Amino acid sequence: MAAATPLVHPEPTYRIYDALARLAGVRRPVTVPDPRVSADVLVHADGRRFAVLVSQADTELAIAHPDVTLPPYGARVVELPETE
């Protein structure tokens, strides 16, 4: 969001957005600590939930939870466990 061109703001600008989200009380259903990974949730018509993880890194990334490895600039869709 800070720039449409990659690497224009290589500093940790993402921390500003994280802090603003917390202050605003925004709850994100899926987060990944690595700022090079975008994460969101899709909900199927039958109620199942899926995390969509997209790497913006030029190297392979290992995500601890869920246990996923993303190839360079790759994406994965992971079914999330049911919540009570």
Residue 66: per-residue pLDDT: 67
Quick check: 76 pLDDT over 60? yes
Beta bridge partners of 37: 55
Q: How many residues does the chain have?
A: 84
Q: Long-range contacts made by residues 69-76, C-beta under 8 angstroms, separation at least 24?
A: 70/37, 76/52
- Residues facing 49 on adjacent strands: 43
Q: Is pLDDT above 80 for 21?
A: yes
Q: Is 55 exposed, middle or buried (0-12, 13-18, 19+ CB in 10 A)?
A: buried
Confidence band, pLDDT 50/70/90 cuts, at residue 31: confident
Confidence band for 48, pLDDT divided at 50, 70 and 90? very high
C-alpha–C-alpha distance, residues 45 and 73, integer Å: 28
Question: Is the pLDDT reported for residue 42 higher than 90?
Answer: yes
